[in-house]
């Protein structure tokens, strides 16, 4: 009996040890760690560096994993906090000119993933880079640094010193913030700065400060200026330098950022399969809470929405993320109910699905045509049919996960002065074909292809006379080829527009091509873009509504030119810090004007589902504003 018990104990010990070894290997205990494989139905576009040429949601998430040590972090409740892992001390002091001086002292031990130390120079370089006219010349998104004293002159290229940024020592720097910036609604959230490696992005350059502000200069003694085979002069900061170091299609930092400081580092991004392979950054010391990832490797794959649940069930995926297609959600919930090894969590998205218009050209330059299109569509039906049971109608420019659409002022005598849900519902543009036809006639679309009066149910498409020639009311829509929802929407839109004499042609293109058109990286060929968009945590529509020519493209995608809307966006930004009551009133005024101008047609905002295998012990994207910020908290069995 004793011998028998000893044998059983020995077998149990062997079994336990084998599990421990196997578990350690999968969790990152060796070079052969098995990755957690995450499937997402929105393909990344490969812009993984600065992210100033793309708003692609999956690329945004990957950048959150690759880049870290930000001075200000977005936390669980979509609130902000100074990053205690990065900052040893913050000191704020008033200046005699009314500005505020904010000094940052860095914590020791910060480093990039190659072991190179991060100093205050890296943060100052980041600001000089983002504010530079050389970067703007490459079509980069606006930097949002207008709050810095001296920004305008530096950005215009009239001076080479950014007076509002000071390099105080190797571990400290300061910002001179304009008087009204910190008192605006998001306050110190605007002080978020990420470090970027100057040795990679501006070879041969160095940050300097002679007492008047920070600037870039060439390294003396020739150090770092001996690169060969490049089309720029190392040590001379220029647009030519950035075009190569940032935007080279193979080795540029934007597509191949190898020196980073986030929780994960890039092993490879496969442009064909659109798969990112990531590994833990061994030099990372923690996020804003000091939390470090324990999952050694991640693999983020593009998976079509119709395949994502079957690949989870087959074991090809560990996580099916951002699932919103209603058929995929149904399949996932069925697995959840029938099997014990599938888990699920859901969370509302910060964005919306929308039909964007090109307001700067063609028929859609007319507000009447844009509104007529809105009147042709049954938005409630589209929400049910395409968005599914977990989608919610949106009537303006917002998403489910923002606090603003749920705002309700404190009641007086039992009556709420502002019930936002009720006010937003009043912005609905109901389906009304008769009203749509009247708008088109008002705008001059009253002829057929022969120049005779347009006759309903006889003539298929409206025309109008422009400069002595007949112009058809024919619209072209870019349709992302990977999207089931886009195909469903095309069918609805085509049938609806035909009833009022609007012609529609749809072209299936890749999502990356769609973004190139949307951002004007190519000459625009399309009038309509159907896609989903996630809002930034810091909701600041100033840039997207800015009518200035310099903002058209990556910032102002629709080309909207409305000074009233732009002014309301600026008033929204200037709301006193964290005064939600005042912000809500201004936000509603902005939304009311937005619906009048209609640069795009808001449709619905979805609930995201994440289905995952029981290989994961902890997975909480709902608690951390999405899967990327939750990655350091992920634990596997």
List pLDDT tens digits, range 230-239.
Answer: 889 999 999 9
**Integer Cα distance of 143 and 583 in angstroms:** 23
Whether 88 and 218 map to the same domain: the answer is yes
Enclosing domain of residue 161:
68-240
Find the DSSP H helices in 276-342: 308-314, 326-338
Under DSSP, the state recorded for 111 is: B
pLDDT for 587-612, tens place per residue?
A: 999 999 999 999 999 999 999 999 99
Whether 417 and 551 map to the same domain: the answer is yes
pLDDT for 307-347, tens place per residue?
A: 999 999 999 999 999 999 889 999 999 998 888 889 999 99
Domain membership flag for residue 62: no
pLDDT for 191-220, tens place per residue?
A: 999 999 999 999 999 999 999 999 999 985
Domain membership flag for residue 574: yes
**Integer Cα distance of 39 and 296 in angstroms:** 17
pLDDT band per the 50, 70, 90 thresholds, residue 437: very high
Of 218, 240, 262, the position where a domain reaches its end is 240
Cα–Cα nearest to 545, from 480, 593, 583: 593
Mean pLDDT of 482-487: 85
pLDDT at 505 over 50: yes
| Coil vs helix vs strand at 582 | helix
User: How many domains is the chain partitioned into structurally?
Assistant: 2
Of 240, 268, 287, the position where a domain reaches its end is 240
pLDDT band per the 50, 70, 90 thresholds, residue 550: confident
Is the Cβ–Cβ distance between 11 and 274 less than 8 Å?
A: no
Domain membership flag for residue 94: yes
At residue 147, the pLDDT reads 92
Is the Cβ–Cβ distance between 35 and 302 less than 8 Å?
A: no
Number of residues that this document lists for the chain: 637
Under DSSP, the state recorded for 116 is: P
pLDDT for 355-393, tens place per residue?
A: 999 999 999 999 999 999 999 999 999 999 998 889 999
Neighbours of 246 (CB within 10 A): 23
Lowest mean pLDDT among 86-100, 205-219, 386-400, 540-554: 540-554
Domain membership flag for residue 390: yes
pLDDT at 518 over 60: yes
Mean pLDDT of 267-293: 96
Domain membership flag for residue 337: no
Lowest mean pLDDT among 170-174, 178-182, 221-225, 564-568: 221-225
Question: Which domain CATH number covers 93?
Answer: 3.90.76.10
Of 197, 214, 240, the position where a domain reaches its end is 240
Domain membership flag for residue 272: no
Portion of the chain with pLDDT greater than 90, in percent: 74
The token pair at 385 is: 């049919």
pLDDT for 112-150, tens place per residue?
A: 999 999 999 999 999 999 999 999 999 898 888 999 999
**Integer Cα distance of 41 and 33 in angstroms:** 25
Sign (positive or negative) of CA dihedral 429, 431, 433, 435: negative
Question: Which domain CATH number covers 388?
Answer: 3.10.105.10
Q: Specify the higher pLDDT residue, 353 or 31.
A: 353
Is the Cβ–Cβ distance between 383 and 368 less than 8 Å?
A: no
Whether 418 and 562 map to the same domain: the answer is yes
Q: How buried is residue 289: exposed, middle or buried, by Cβ count under 10 Å (0-12/13-18/19+)?
A: middle
At residue 606, the pLDDT reads 92
Strand pairing class (528-533; 352-357): antiparallel
| Coil vs helix vs strand at 342 | strand
pLDDT band per the 50, 70, 90 thresholds, residue 85: very high
Task: For the full predicted model, state whether its pTM sits above 0.75.
Answer: yes
Domain membership flag for residue 77: yes
Question: H or E stretch including 467?
Answer: none
At residue 414, the pLDDT reads 66
pLDDT at 34 over 70: yes
Beta bridge partners of 576: 184
Residue whose structure tokens are 């089931």: 484
Strand pairing class (503-509; 474-480): parallel
Phi, psi for 303 (deg, rounded to 5): -135, 130
At residue 511, the pLDDT reads 82
Cα–Cα nearest to 143, from 247, 50, 249: 50
Domain membership flag for residue 632: no
């Amino acid at each position: 009996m004793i011998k028998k018990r000893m044998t059983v104990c020995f077998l149990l010990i062997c079994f336990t040890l084998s599990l421990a070894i196997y578990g350690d290997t999968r969790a990152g205990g060796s070079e052969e760690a098995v990755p957690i494989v995450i499937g997402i139905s929105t393909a990344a576009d490969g812009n993984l560096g600065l992210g100033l040429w793309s708003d692609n949601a999956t690329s945004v998430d990957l950048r959150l994993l690759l880049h870290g040590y930000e001075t200000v972090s977005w936390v669980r409740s979509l609130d902000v906090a100074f990053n205690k892992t990065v900052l040893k001390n913050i000191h704020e002091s008033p200046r005699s000119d009314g500005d505020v001086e904010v000094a940052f002292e860095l914590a020791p031990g910060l480093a990039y993933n190659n072991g190179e130390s991060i100093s205050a120079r890296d943060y100052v370089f980041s600001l000089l880079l983002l504010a530079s006219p050389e970067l703007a010349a490459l079509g980069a998104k606006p930097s949002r640094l207008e709050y810095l004293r001296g920004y305008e002159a530096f950005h215009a290229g009239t001076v080479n010193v950014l007076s509002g940024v000071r390099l105080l020592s190797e571990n400290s720097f300061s910002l001179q913030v304009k008087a009204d910036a910190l008192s605006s609604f998001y306050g110190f959230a605007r002080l978020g700065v990420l470090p970027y490696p100057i040795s990679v992005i501006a070879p041969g350059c160095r940050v300097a400060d002679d007492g008047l502000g920070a600037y870039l200069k060439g390294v003396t003694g020739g150090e770092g200026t001996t690169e060969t085979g490049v089309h720029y002069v190392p040590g001379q900061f220029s647009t030519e330098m950035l075009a190569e170091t940032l935007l080279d299609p193979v080795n540029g930092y934007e597509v191949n950022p190898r020196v980073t400081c986030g929780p994960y580092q890039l092993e490879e991004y496969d442009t064909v399969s659109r798969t990112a392979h990531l590994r833990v950054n061994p030099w990372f010391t923690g996020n804003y809470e000091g939390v470090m990832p324990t999952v050694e490797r991640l693999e983020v794959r593009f998976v079509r929405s119709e395949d994502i649940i079957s690949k989870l069930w087959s074991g090809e995926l560990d996580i099916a993320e951002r699932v919103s297609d209603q058929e995929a959600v149904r399949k996932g919930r069925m697995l959840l109910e029938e099997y014990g090894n599938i888990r699920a969590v859901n969370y509302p998205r910060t964005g919306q699905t929308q039909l964007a218009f090109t307001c700067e050209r063609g028929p859609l330059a007319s507000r009447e045509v844009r509104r007529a299109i809105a009147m042709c569509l049954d938005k409630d039906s589209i929400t049910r049919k395409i968005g599914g049971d977990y989608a919610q109608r949106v009537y303006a420019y917002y998403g489910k996960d923002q606090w603003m659409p749920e705002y309700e002022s404190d009641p007086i005598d039992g009556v709420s002065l502002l019930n936002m849900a009720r006010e937003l519902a009043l912005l609905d543009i109901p389906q009304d074909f008769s009203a749509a036809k009247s708008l088109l006639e008002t705008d001059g679309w009253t002829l057929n292809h022969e120049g005779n009066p347009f006759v309903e149910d006889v003539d298929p498409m409206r025309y109008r006379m422009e400069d002595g020639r007949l112009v058809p009311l024919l619209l072209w829509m870019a349709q992302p080829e990977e999207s089931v929802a886009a195909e469903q929407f095309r069918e609805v839109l085509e049938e609806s527009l035909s009833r009022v004499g609007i012609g529609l042609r749809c072209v299936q293109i890749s999502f990356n091509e769609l973004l190139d058109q949307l951002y004007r990286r190519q000459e625009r060929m399309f009038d309509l873009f159907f896609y989903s968009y996630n809002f930034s945590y810091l909701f600041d529509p100033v840039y997207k509504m800015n009518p200035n020519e310099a903002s058209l493209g990556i910032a102002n995608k629709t080309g909207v030119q409305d000074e009233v809307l732009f002014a309301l966006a600026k008033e929204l930004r200037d709301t006193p810090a964290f005064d939600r009551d005042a912000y809500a009133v201004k936000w509603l005024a902005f939304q009311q004007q937005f619906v009048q101008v209609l640069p795009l047609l808001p449709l619905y905002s979805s609930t995201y589902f994440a289905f995952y295998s029981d290989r994961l012990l902890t997975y909480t994207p709902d608690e951390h504003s999405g899967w990327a910020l939750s990655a350091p908290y992920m634990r596997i069995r």
